[in-house]
């Protein structure tokens, strides 16, 4: 081998080593010791971060809003057309003008009527779809294992629409499904209907649940609600779980705050102030009574609060709440609803993950519902991260994904 090619080989090796080091630096994030499948999680997180950065670049060069670009990436990678197996029939249709994907489990026994579940997918009110593989697989599994009809709603997303438009879409589709002739068409038992969703979908499911329980014509038509790591409030971004998981994978705190601001059509310049709870400082009078409803020092057990200190500013940025009064609206933040609203809610399931900024939103809701006399099951996973329940198949299969999904379906099987 000549001098030249040796030198070339050497520089090639050095370049590769540098690239690998750079890649490892990008992919590697410190993770808690007992989180599920840590290396796989790092790769998933790095992939998601790259897609986020690419979509910011697309926005920077003026091609498209970054959320539209990001959702385009997510949907084009994961789109699945309606399909059917011997056990489930899947169809795309619309309910009163709102697109839905319907999953019908074929009855194995001679049970004449099925249960029905309204499913609301997550994605920060801005991302994902009922038609991507992750949600399609979840709903197909639910339809099959529960012999149920799952209505997965393709509600419109940010930035096309903002709060409360998402809720209006869901309300329209749900009311259509609840019509006697529609239930009959799908062979659904009107006494066995649940509403469910994950993450931002859990937020929307909880808000819809509260709305229906206050409506005389709809109260009692929903037997159960099942909320998977739901987003429930935007008043305190320093709960113990927000502090503990500031930089946790998939959903670091600043990203969650950005989703909130976009959902409420606010200014992204508010992020820094909101991260330190400047938007709900002591001098913001409108927030005073609501703050008591998420006083985690009294709502959470000592095993959760540990040594974490509340972040309460004396003086902050009072104009944020003036510009975004929706921050204090229980339809966006179901955790701050009145006790009288909570006490009419149906039997509830809440799933929380240890390594998730939203863990305490969920636990505080469990506590408030229990105090209001609602029958609640709280299912907590020590090694779980935000979003895990949809990651059940290769190459993004996580053991905790399968365990959370099975536990959720088991509860529905026993209670619906």
Ligand X SMILES: *[C@@H]1O[C@H](CO)[C@@H](O)[C@H](O)[C@H]1NC(C)=O
Catalytically active residues, by annotation:
199, 356, 386
Nearer residue to ligand X within complex by CB, 271 or 341: 271
Question: Shortest distance, CB of residue 108 to ligand X, whole angstroms?
Answer: 26
| 278 lies in the site for ligand X, by CB under 6 A | yes
| 317 lies in the site for ligand X, by CB under 6 A | yes
Separation between Cα atoms, residue 168 and residue 197, nearest integer Å? 16
Measure CA 81 to chain center: 23
3-state DSSP assignment of residue 9: helix
Q: Among 335, 277, 40, 331, which Cα is nearest to 162's?
A: 331
| 307 lies in the site for ligand X, by CB under 6 A | no
Nearer residue to ligand X within complex by CB, 272 or 371: 272
| 37 lies in the site for ligand X, by CB under 6 A | yes
Question: Shortest distance, CB of residue 314 to ligand X, whole angstroms?
Answer: 8
Strands 148-153, 98-105: pairing is: antiparallel
Count Cβ neighbours within 10 Å for each residue of 81-105 and write b for 16 or more, e otherwise: eeeeeeebbbeeeebeebbbbbbbb
Question: Shortest distance, CB of residue 359 to ligand X, whole angstroms?
Answer: 14
Q: How far is CA 297 from CA 89, 218, 300, 308, 370, in A?
A: 48, 35, 6, 9, 17
Residues 369-398 vs ligand X: string with x where CB under 6 A?
Answer: -------------xx----------x--xx
What lies within 8 Å, CB to CB, of 199 at 6+ separation is: 122, 123, 124, 228, 229, 230, 231, 358, 386, 387
Nearer residue to ligand X within complex by CB, 272 or 343: 272
User: Among the candidate windows 18-26, 166-174, 211-219, 309-317, which touches ligand X by CB under 6 A?
Assistant: 309-317
Q: Among 284, 325, 395, 289, which Cα is nearest to 41's?
A: 395
Question: Shortest distance, CB of residue 35 to ligand X, whole angstroms?
Answer: 8
User: Among the candidate windows 6-14, 164-172, 315-323, 341-349, which touches ligand X by CB under 6 A?
Assistant: 315-323
Of positions 8, 56, 315, 343, contacts ligand X by CB under 6 A: 315
Query: How many residues sit close enough to ligand X to count as binding (CB under 6 A)?
Result: 16
CA dihedral 239, 241, 242, 243 (to 10 degrees): 90
| 399 lies in the site for ligand X, by CB under 6 A | yes
Nearer residue to ligand X within complex by CB, 42 or 194: 42
| 356 lies in the site for ligand X, by CB under 6 A | no
| 31 lies in the site for ligand X, by CB under 6 A | no
Of positions 273, 311, 341, 372, contacts ligand X by CB under 6 A: 273
| 33 lies in the site for ligand X, by CB under 6 A | yes
Separation between Cα atoms, residue 313 and residue 316, nearest integer Å? 6
Strand arrangement of the beta sheet that strand 88-95 belongs to: 88-95, 98-105, 148-153, 114-120, 188-198, 224-228, 347-355, 376-385
Nearer residue to ligand X within complex by CB, 44 or 173: 44
Q: Which residues bind ligand X (CB under 6 A)?
A: 33-34, 37, 272-273, 276, 278, 315-317, 382-383, 394, 397-399
């Amino acid at each position: 081998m000549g001098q030249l090619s040796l030198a070339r080989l050497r520089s090639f090796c050095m370049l590769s080593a540098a690239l690998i080091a750079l890649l490892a630096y990008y992919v590697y994030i410190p993770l808690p010791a007992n989180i599920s499948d840590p290396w796989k999680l790092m790769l998933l997180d790095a992939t998601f971060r790259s897609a986020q950065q690419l979509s910011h670049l697309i926005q920077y060069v003026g091609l498209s809003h970054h959320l539209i670009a990001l959702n385009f990436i997510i949907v084009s990678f994961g789109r699945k057309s309606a399909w059917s197996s011997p056990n489930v029939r899947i169809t795309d249709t619309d309910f009163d003008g709102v697109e839905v994907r319907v999953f019908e489990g074929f009855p194995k026994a001679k049970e004449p009527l099925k249960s029905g579940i309204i499913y609301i997918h997550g994605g920060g009110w801005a991302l994902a779809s009922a038609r991507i593989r992750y949600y399609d697989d979840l709903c197909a599994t639910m339809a099959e294992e529960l012999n149920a009809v799952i209505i997965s709603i393709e509600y419109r997303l940010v930035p096309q629409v903002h709060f409360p438009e998402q809720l209006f879409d869901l309300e329209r589709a749900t009311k259509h499904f609840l019509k006697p002739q529609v239930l009959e068409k799908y062979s659904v038992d009107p006494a066995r209907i649940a509403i469910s969703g994950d993450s931002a979908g859990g937020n929307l499911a909880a808000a819809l649940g509260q709305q229906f329980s206050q409506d005389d014509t709809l109260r009692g038509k929903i037997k159960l609600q099942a909320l998977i790591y739901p987003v429930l409030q935007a008043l305190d971004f320093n709960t113990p779980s927000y502090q503990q998981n500031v930089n946790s994978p998939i959903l670091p705190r600043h990203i969650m705050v950005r989703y909130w601001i976009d959902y409420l059509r606010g200014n992204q310049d508010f992020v820094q102030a909101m991260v330190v709870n400047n938007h709900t400082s002591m001098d913001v009078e409108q927030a005073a009574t609501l703050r008591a409803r998420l006083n985690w020092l009294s709502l959470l057990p000592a095993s959760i609060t540990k040594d974490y200190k509340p972040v309460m500013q004396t003086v902050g940025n009072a104009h944020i709440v003036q510009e975004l009064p929706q921050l204090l609206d229980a339809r966006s933040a179901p955790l701050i609803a009145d006790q009288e609203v909570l006490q009419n809610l149906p039997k509830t399931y809440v799933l929380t993950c240890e390594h998730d900024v939203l863990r305490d939103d969920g636990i505080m809701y469990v506590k408030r519902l229990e105090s209001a006399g609602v029958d609640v099951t709280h299912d907590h996973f020590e090694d779980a991260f935000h979003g895990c329940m949809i990651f059940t198949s290769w190459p993004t299969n996580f053991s905790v994904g399968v365990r959370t999904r099975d536990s959720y379906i088991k509860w529905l099987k026993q209670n619906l």
